[in-house]
């Protein structure tokens, strides 16, 4: 009843198991490497995006402080002019508006300069 196929089948089966085991081990190594690469990419992207958002916030704060400073300087000059000359309140109004316009002009210039820079 033994036709000699069971010994041969056992060898083929164990060889297949060994091949499958090797392939499984190889795939597990590739999967671990891919996961490690993805984690590294996520941490690199996180660092880049946080530094980018930080520099954008710094840029916005700089622009807003320049605008507020120009308005305050204009208003201060107008107030000083009104204090020493009999032009009250027109000096304050005129220089406040000039400071406002100067601040807007600075904002437009800076944003145009930054948008053309790579």
Where along the chain do its domains lie?
Answer: 5-116
SS3 content of the chain, % helix, strand, coil (to 5): 90, 0, 10
Phi, psi at 86, each rounded to 5°: -85, 60
pTM, whole model, 2 decimals? 0.55
Residues 60-78: what's their mean pLDDT?
A: 96
Residues 107-111: what's their mean pLDDT?
A: 94
Using 50, 70 and 90 to split pLDDT, how confident is the model at 75?
very high
pLDDT at position 36 is: 87
Q: Quote the CA–CA distance of 81 and 90 in Å, as a whole number.
A: 9
């Amino acid at each position: 009843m033994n036709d000699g196929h069971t010994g041969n089948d056992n060898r083929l089966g164990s060889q297949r198991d060994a091949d499958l085991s090797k392939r499984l081990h190889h795939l597990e190594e590739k999967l671990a490497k891919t996961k490690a690469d993805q984690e590294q990419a996520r941490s690199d992207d996180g660092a880049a995006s946080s530094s980018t958002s930080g520099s954008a916030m710094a840029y916005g704060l700089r622009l807003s402080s320049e605008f507020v400073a120009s308005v305050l300087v204009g208003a201060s000059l107008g107030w000083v002019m009104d204090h020493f000359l009999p032009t009250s309140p027109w000096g304050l109004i005129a220089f406040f508006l000039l400071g406002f316009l100067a601040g807007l002009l600075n904002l437009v210039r800076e944003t145009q300069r930054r948008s053309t820079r790579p």
